[in-house]
Amino acid sequence: MTVWPGPSASAGHRQVAWLSVGSTQRFYQIDPDGANAPAPAGPLPPAWYDEPVMPVSPLAVEAHDLAKTFRSGWLRRRETPALRGASLQVERGAIFGLLGPNGAGKTTLLSILATLLLPDRGSATILGHDVVREAFAIRRRLNMASGNASFVWSLRPAEVLAFYGRLYGLHGRSLRTRVAELLDRFELTPHLKTEYNELSTGLKQRLALAKALLNRPEVLFLDEPTLGLDPDVSIRIRAQIAELRRREGTTIILTTHYMREADELCDRIAFIKGGRILAEGSPDELKRQIRIGDVVALRLDPAAPAGLADLAGVLQVQTRGDRIECTVDSAEKRLSEILRWLVEQHVVIRDCQVHEPELEEVFVELAR
């Protein structure tokens, strides 16, 4: 990678640098707050120029009222609504999760955003480009990997990457370097002689991820990236996804069935069911939003004081063995009040634990 430092920008213009990334040229804005490197001595590289300032949206993905119905059959026309007006916004550099039961519309939504499917209604932009009218421009800057990815069966890992790398315009040394780098990063180098159909599921998955990074995408779609993988492989892939955002600032939208994965990786999550987004927020916001409540588990003496259920914010009181479980709207707000009340009632508190709801419980609640 070669970066040329540039001269200072003229008024009303921003300063850009020409950056050779593989076979493509990108223009990068130098952060106005950053310290610019000095201009090189002698004539400036011809790629330098002042580019008029254009407003850059903080959103990487913006979808509004997307709808899609699949139609099949000749005589008896069958219609299957997959999306019924889904809207979402994803900030640049965020990891956004799409959760929902099978057939909820997650993959349909992802496919529309990835320009593989045309919506019946609504609009969507990726990095400011319309997914229908400017699909070609977007494709340079996005990529996708699926949990059950498949490639031409008798190609070897390096050949798969070289084929798709060429389709992204990489060639010569830049292609060879990028392929070698990705093979190494995803630990595929020992399998160079193995044809695709002979790779294990985990290796196929890693190859799919490697392919998805060939063009250094600014927006990456991951459709169930750890589907059917052993736990240790899943952990490694999750680490690589997190690393990708951290190192390269890639905006990632992922669908998953695994709540832990969403909780661990995602800044924001949308729950989708029946083609509609039912709830959206950070994992913590969602847990609060659907009011499952926190659980305060107590071991008391005497065991069950009367009146606990009548306290403000207490939604439910259940006795489980020698414990009492109080479901409250917010443990943060109610814990001190409960403890104070118990002390006033001369109850001895032998043990106290607070459990926040798991994302899985939110999922179950919303999927009902």
Partner 1 sequence: MSWRAEPIAAGAGAAEWWMEEWVRLSAFAYRNLIMARRNVFFLFELTFWPGVAMLSHGLLTRFLDLTPQMTAFILVGTVALSAVQVCQLDVAYAVLFDIWSKSMKHQFLTPVRIHHLALGSWVVGVGRGVIVWALMAVIGGRAFGFDFLGAGGMRVTLFLLGCFLTALVIGLLVCALVLLWGTRAETSAWAAVNFFVMLSGIYYPVSVLPGWVQTISAGIPLTYFLDGIRAGYGFPPRFAHPFAIGFALSLLYAVLAHWALAAAVTRSRRTGLLLKLSE
In the sheet where 2-3 sits, what is the strand order?
2-3, 13-21, 50-52
CB of 185 to partner 1, least distance (A): 19
The answer to whether 279 and 98 are in contact (CB under 8 A) is no
Residue 220 or 269 having the CB closest to partner 1: 220
Q: Which residues bind partner 1 (CB under 8 A)?
A: 3, 5, 16-19, 23-31, 34-37, 47, 49, 51, 56, 68, 70-71, 107, 111, 114-118, 127, 136-137, 139-144, 146, 148-155, 159, 162-164, 166-171, 196, 211, 215, 218, 249
Tokens matching residue 225? 């990236």
Residue 116 or 235 having the CB closest to partner 1: 116
SS (HEC) of 206-235: HHHHHHHCCCCCCEEEEECCCCCCCHHHHH
Those residues with Cβ within 8 angstroms of residue 344's Cβ, 6 or more apart along the chain or in another chain: none
Element (H, E) at 161: helix 157-167
Burial class (CB in 10 A: 0-12, 13-18, 19+), 56: exposed
Residue 52 has phi, psi (to 5 degrees) of: -55, 145
CB of 147 to partner 1, least distance (A): 9
The structure tokens 């479901």 sit at 327
Residue 220 or 300 having the CB closest to partner 1: 220
Residue 82 or 308 having the CB closest to partner 1: 82
Residue 144 or 292 having the CB closest to partner 1: 144
Residue 170 or 295 having the CB closest to partner 1: 170
CB of 279 to partner 1, least distance (A): 26
CB of 116 to partner 1, least distance (A): 5
Q: Please name which of 148, 114, 116 lies closest in space to residue 129, comparing C-alpha atoms.
A: 114
The answer to whether 266 and 254 are in contact (CB under 8 A) is yes
The answer to whether 222 and 145 are in contact (CB under 8 A) is yes
Whole-angstrom Cα distance, residue 17 to residue 104? 44
CB of 188 to partner 1, least distance (A): 17
CB of 61 to partner 1, least distance (A): 15
Residue 109 or 359 having the CB closest to partner 1: 109
